Amino acid sequence: MKHKIIDIVQSQVIASIKEDGDLEKAVQSNVNIVFILTGNLITMNEYVKKLKKAGKTTFIHIDFIDGLSNTKSAIKYIAEIWKPSGIITTKSNLIKYAKEEGLMTIQRLFLIDRNALAKGIDIAHNCKPDAIEVLPGLMPSIIDQLTNMTSLPIIAGGLISNKEDILNGLRAGALAISSGDPKLWNLDL
C-alpha cells in the first residue's frame, strides 16, 4: 500500500515546535515537515501561514492546542480555516474526522509496555492513519518490531537528543524522527 506521507518526507528529521519561540527556528531550518505542539486558537492560523510560506509541510498536534475541543466541528474548522497538511492526535475518532476533511493524519502512540504496543497497533489498523508516531523514540528494537507489525510508516519521537539517536531510529526502520531540539533540525538526513 502506498502512503502519501512517504512522498512528502525530504528531511528525515521533523521539527516539533514545543515553544512559540521556536517557530522562527523551524522556518529557518533544513526540515521540510513541522509538527506544531504549541499555540492556541488565536495564534495557530498565523503559525501555519508562516510555515507554509517557508515551504514547510505542517501538522498540528491537536491534543496540545489551547482552546481547541476534540470534536468533529473543531476538525472541520482546522481543515477549512487553518489549512495545515494534517493533524497529529492520540484520539482515533479524530483521525476519522480529519480523513473525512481531507487532512493527512498521524496517530501518536505512547509505548509504555507490550500491551500498549499491541493495543496501539490495533487502534491504528482500525482508524487507518497515514502514519504512526511512537514515543519514546529511543527504542530501536521496538521500532524494528513495529515495522514488522504494520505497513504504516513509523515516525519516532520523544527523548531524541543527538544525531546518534536519530540514526539509530532510522536504521531500525523509522521513516523519520521528530525532535523538539532546534539544534537537530539542520542535520542533512
Residue 1: the pLDDT is 54
Q: What share of the chain is helix, strand, coil (3-state, %, to 5)?
A: 45, 20, 35
Pick from 3-7, 44-48, 111-115, 124-128: least confident: 3-7
Is the separation of the CB atoms in 82 and 45 below 8 Å? yes
CA angle 10, 12, 16 (to 5 degrees): 105
Which candidate, 89, 81, 126, places its Cα nearest to that of 105? 89
Residue 103 has pLDDT above 80, yes or no: yes
Residue 107 has pLDDT above 70, yes or no: yes
88 within some domain = yes
97: domain CATH number is 3.20.20.70
189 within some domain = no
Q: How many domains does the chain have?
A: 1
Average pLDDT rounded to a whole number, residues 174-187: 97
Q: Residue 67 in 3-state DSSP?
A: coil
Domain extent for 41: 4-183
188 within some domain = no
40 within some domain = yes
pLDDT digits (tens, 9 = 90+) for 52-100: 999 999 999 999 999 999 999 999 999 999 999 999 999 999 999 999 9
Residue 3: the pLDDT is 76
83 within some domain = yes
Q: What is the mean pLDDT of the chain?
A: 96
Residue 165: the pLDDT is 97
Average pLDDT rounded to a whole number, residues 24-35: 98
Q: pLDDT class for 2, splitting at 50, 70, 90?
A: low
